[in-house]
Structure 1
Amino acid sequence: MSDIKEHFLFGEDHLTTGKVIKIVNGDILGIISEIARKKIRRNRQVVDNIVKKGAPVYGINTGFGPLCTTKISKEETKILQKNILQSHSVGVGDPIDTRIAKIMMILKVQSLSQGHSGIAEKTLDRILWHIDNNAIPIVPCQGSVGASGDLAPLSHLFLPLIGLGKVTFQNKVISTSELYTITGLQALELEPKEGLALINGTQFIAAHAVEVIVKLHNCLSQADIIGAMMIEGLQGSVKPFYKELHHLRPFKGNIHVAARIKAILKGSEIMRAHTNCDRVQDPYSLRCIPQVHGASRNAWLHLKELLEIELNAVTDNPIIIDEELTISGGNFHGQPLAMALDYVCLAASELGNISDRRIYLALEGNAPGVPKLLMKDTGINSGYMILQYTTAALASENKGLCFPSSADSIPTSLGQEDHVSMGSIGGRKALRVIENLEKILAIELLTAAQAFEYRKPLKSGIILDEIYKEVRKSVTFANEDRVFADDIQKGIDIIKNKTIVTIASKISSKEKLSLETQFSSEFDIY
């Protein structure tokens, strides 16, 4: 950690998705500034004064949820904080990815460091220790309804603070007691209000949204490139990507996608070879790429803008403004992100939908020089026929996952919490759709490369030519049937590793081929 030069000041600096990822990866060290510490200490003193005065304030000296009218004595307020973490640790299902759990901790530190939650410095410092030392708590994936905070997952996340639960540490899952033996740490005694501050908030939803933004950004970037390769392979027209068309309907995403694809196709011999052909227009899956990919980018941008607000928000309850004003409000309610996550889930599904249609189009054999099923000797060989079955299955599965989680609400807490967001389910579901999308795009990449081969000896622009060469390092041209599952897995690795995006970026920078647009900064996660 000492080698890290860049610092992020929790409670003072503005957090973005890109900065979250850099903290997760260890590229930035997150610390609590002295300015933030003063706010934290001052707010902690306010809570202590409330306890001394004895007037009932929700969650400080009262019970929780429907027990909000039950007064808790001064002597019992600390026991209450430990009990709330234990009683609310009711999560079930597989553990979430340790990366998402680490993001949750980072987001919680940013929220608590604003100085409105009554948290103690020692508690925040312990959470930072967990982040910096990659001692990441085990958090079950199910159990949150996305309002009154992500109660169950956040409770599991912070059980290690009081000596309970399990963590992933040094690539092993161990009990917190084992962690204490190894490190010499001891359990914390939580002060009044701290337990509620830890488990109330939207960090489970927001952490999933961070991953959605990162993973879908990768898919959006690759979908444009793969779509361009398919246009070349099937001899599609470049005219649908002219700026003159898109400035007549100036959606940001549409303009951005059209400009990128036109730049990728620049200098292509393949495109020039059919300039004067008699084809009037292409099927929608080719010529409407800017409109469909662009709409998905617009949905992504909407979530990104909302998420950035959430990353810097105070989302627990009650909120301590000062000694005279404590507000029991609803900043913990996940609806703002829940609805946007459902929107982005649909956006990711639609990217897979149109990708599957391009794959099917490539198999039809209607493009000049491209054989049916993308293989010349068919009959004895099925060619690429069955790969599209897989994309059809994945696209259909995604459609089934697109029912909006936020459309549902089941009252909890004996009716005290009578409307909830289900945003936790929406976040998990969106990631499932994106994982399926990565597989669909991998298959389209293989299909586009196969079609692209039939354009030889003509060359494309330098970007697609280099990407094609890179793909062929892993997946060779198919003259006959083979176990295509192996090819697909290699394609998935290419997608997940951002291989073709990296190549496109390096070449465009070196050759001064601008893939940037007037909206590029908005469509970047950093």
Structure 2
Amino acid sequence: MAASLRVQAGKLSLADLKKAYDSHQPLLLDASCKENVLAAKAVVDEYVSHQKIAYGINTGFGKLANVVIPEDHLPQLQKNLVLSHACGVGQYLEPASIRLVMLLKINSLIQGYSGVSWQLIEALIALYNAAIYPCIPEKGSVGASGDLAPLAHMSLALLGEGEVMYQNQLRQSADVLQEVGLHPLTLAPKEGLALLNGTQVSTALLARAVIRCQRLIDAAIVAGALSLTATQANLHPFDQRLHQLRMNEGQIDIARMLTFLLTDTAIGTTSTKHQVQDPYSLRCQPQVLGACLTQMRYAAGILQAEVNAVTDNPLVFATTKEIISGGNFHAQSVGFAADALAVAIATTATISERRTALLLDPAFSGLPAFLVNASGENSGFMLAQVTAAALVSENKVLAHPASVDSIPTSMNQEDHVSMATFAARRLDEMLDNSMTVVAIELLAACQGIDLLKQKPQTTHLKKFYDKIRQIISFYDVDRYFASDITKVKEMIEMHEFALPSQGSNSCLVF
């Protein structure tokens, strides 16, 4: 039986998100949140019973906010909102991301500012715990007024509408609800709006990227250390005294980790080639990857705040019995964080590809051309580097900032939007590209080390080298190579290159 993930209102950690992303764990709510939820619901009920006008409770939405809706039409108003806003297109998000979306929405609602019923929260948790994943198309949100379209698709399942993924099968929601003994909900006033407003989709996609960035940066550091070994590089540029003078924490941490991985290796502290200066992709790893790490940590900090934010609208303040309309659904901070990650992801791959290119060039590395004996008859790593170059170039286009590309919607009522959902979504493709580029470097560096006949000597670096060699053999003559790259990329995805903790100086993103 899977361990439960305990959820306290507004207290999710990034470690909790990682657990939810990696596997399905049933949610167990802290009972203390129920009182606040019921108090906010009582305020909404009072507004309805006294016919007090409040946006989205007894009015239309967006540009139609001035249209007052009769009380007997309010349940239909909320259902219509969900049905009409479910306009997403494109491929469905994968279950891991949908789990994050649902978890974030639940965490927002249980804080007691949304005015929803406890029954609605129980229904969402029932779906989550039964691993019934509403099918959410990946496209259709501009990241302001909330992630309206994708969250509408999430909400359809509560109504017995749309499709869900259940037990690895795509099925109709109504059929699955009946099968597991659940019933479609009739939404109360404010509930449809509370479900649809919010940044939970863009935040979930940012969370996915931050989690994967940790795996990427760890693998890139290992690849860099192996390349330093294979090129017999000068290690003086990693002297901690140099990096302390730069006063950049990310740079200091990368230099420390590289030194930790390389200390006492066969290459010692200086190159056996007696080269005074190596190319930047080798000797400036702390400066470049350190800057990337800093951006990743910045994004993780924004993410930590956003996962516990209440971002629907309007918000209910039970202590003063007020319902206040604002704009917490605007995801500009998420968009900025995603754009910062895009630059870091692209740069991590760019410098990795350059190190691979150095390894293949005998004029620098002193190794056989394209890292294969009898080159000419064998092409070796020639096209692997071409693949890396192609992916690096793709990333340069994808790294263009998305958050500056606002476009007006809803008859100019929503005249400035964040584009955070796309900003975060495109990171997944960039991470796939970058992990593949780093996988190619890992293979090239191990090949170079074998050609040198000089294995890593330190415990940790040898461990990583051995992991690769346990599944990928030495490239002696040309063979089908794509599967080798895929296997090492999967190792990165599974965090097989997780770096050992260095206490407070860990290189981990979070």
TM tier relative to shorter chain: over 0.9
Match of 1:403 among 381, 396, 400: 400
- 1:497-508 superposed matches below 5 A: 497-501=494-498, 505=500
Whole-angstrom CA distance in 1 between matches of 2:99 and 2:494: 21
**2:291 aligns to what?**
295
In the other structure, the counterpart of 1:260 is 257
Is 1:519 the equivalent of 2:501? no
Name the SS for the 1:523 alignment partner: coil
Q: Could you tell me which of 380, 388, 391 is aligned with 1:391?
A: 388
For 1:229 and 1:90, the matched residues in 2 are separated by 48
Match of 1:163 among 160, 172, 185: 160
Distance 1:523 1:227 in 2: 16
Does the CA-based 8 Å contact 1:253-1:294 persist in structure 2?
Answer: yes
Residue correspondence of structure 1 range 26-105 to structure 2 within 5 A? 29-105=26-102
**Range that drifts further, 453-462 or 192-201:** 453-462
Task: Give me the whole-angstrom Cα distance separating, in 2, the residues matched to 1:480 and 1:403.
Answer: 40
Q: Which residue of 1 aligns with 2:8?
A: 10
Query: Aligned equivalents of 2:450 and 2:366: distance in 1?
Result: 10
Question: Where do residues 121-520 of structure 1 align in structure 2 (5 Å cutoff)?
Answer: 121-271=118-268, 277-322=273-318, 324-367=321-364, 369-457=366-454, 459-501=456-498, 505=500, 515-520=501-506
Please tell me the residue identity of whatever aligns with 1:312.
N
Q: What is the aligned-residue RMSD (CA, Å)?
A: 1.7
Deviations 1:449-500, CA, capped at 9 Å, x for gaps: 1111123245432222232222122211112212221221222222222223
Contact 2:232 2:271 survives alignment (8 Å): no
Query: Distance between the aligned counterparts of 2:358 and 2:409, measured in 1?
Result: 49
CA–CA distance in structure 2, aligned partners of residues 25 and 394 of structure 1? 26
> What SS class does the counterpart of residue 474 from structure 2 fall into?
coil
Paired residue secondary structure (2:164)? strand
Partner SS, residue 91 of structure 2: strand
Residues 468-477 or 222-231, more deviating: 468-477
| 1:519 shift after superposition | 3.3
In structure 2, distance between residues paired with 1:414 and 1:27:
41
Tell me, yes or no, if the aligned pair for 1:235 and 1:271 is still in contact at 8 Å: no
Q: Report deviation, 1:7.
A: 4.7
Give deviations 1:280-312, integer Å, cap 9, x for gaps.
Answer: 111000001011111111001001001111111
Instruction: Give the CA deviation at 1:133.
Output: 1.0
Partner letter of residue 508 of structure 2?
A: F
CA contact (8 A) 1:259 1:517 kept: no
Point out 4+ residue stretches in structure 1 off by more than 6 angstroms.
none
**Structure 2 vs 1, CA of residues 54 and 462 (structure 1 numbering), >3 Å: closer, same or farther?**
same
Per the alignment, in what secondary structure is the counterpart of residue 454 of structure 1?
Answer: helix
Determine if contact 2:352/2:441 at 8 Å carries over to the other structure: yes
1:369–1:455 Cα contact (<8 Å) kept: no
Looking at structure 2, the residues matched to 275 and 101 of structure 1 have their Cα atoms a distance apart, in angstroms, of 49
SS in 2 for 1:180: helix
Write out per-residue CA displacement over residues 37-87 of structure 1, whole angstroms, 9 at most, x where no aligned residue.
000001000000011111211001100000000001111111101000000
CA distance in 2, matches of 1:443, 1:458: 19
| Conserved? CA contact 1:10–1:30, under 8 Å | no
Gaps of 5+ in 1: 506-514
Q: Distance in 2 between matches of 1:211 and 1:166?
A: 23
Spell out, residue by residue over 1:215-253, the C-alpha distance to the aligned partner (whole angstroms, 9 max, x if none): 010000110011000000001121111110111012111
TM-score by length of 1: 0.93
Task: Give the Cα–Cα distance (whole angstroms) in 1 for the partners of residues 345 and 377 of structure 2.
Answer: 36
Q: Is the Cα contact below 8 Å between 1:8 and 1:28 reproduced in 2? A: no
- Deviation string 1:127-176 (CA, Å, 9 cap, x unpaired) is 11111110000011110000000000000001011110111111111101
Please list every run of 5 or more consecutive structure 2 residues that lacks an aligned counterpart in the other structure.
Answer: none
Of 159-168 and 377-386, the range deviating more from structure 2: 377-386
Q: Amino acid of the residue matched to residue 300 of structure 2? A: K
Q: Which amino acid is 1:523 matched to?
A: L
Amino acid across the alignment from 1:202: T
Aligned mates of 2:321, 2:464 — CA distance in 1: 63
- CA shift in 2, pair 1:102/1:276, >3 Å: closer
CA distance in 2 between partners of 1:26 and 1:84 (Å): 32
Structure-1 separation of matches of 2:165 and 2:333: 31
Alignment-mate amino acid for residue 98 of structure 1:
P
Between the two proteins, the alignment pairs up a number of residues equal to: 509
Identical counterparts, % of pairs? 36
SS of equivalent to 2:276:
coil
Check 1:119–1:453 CA distance in 2 against 1; reply closer, same or farther (3 A cut): same
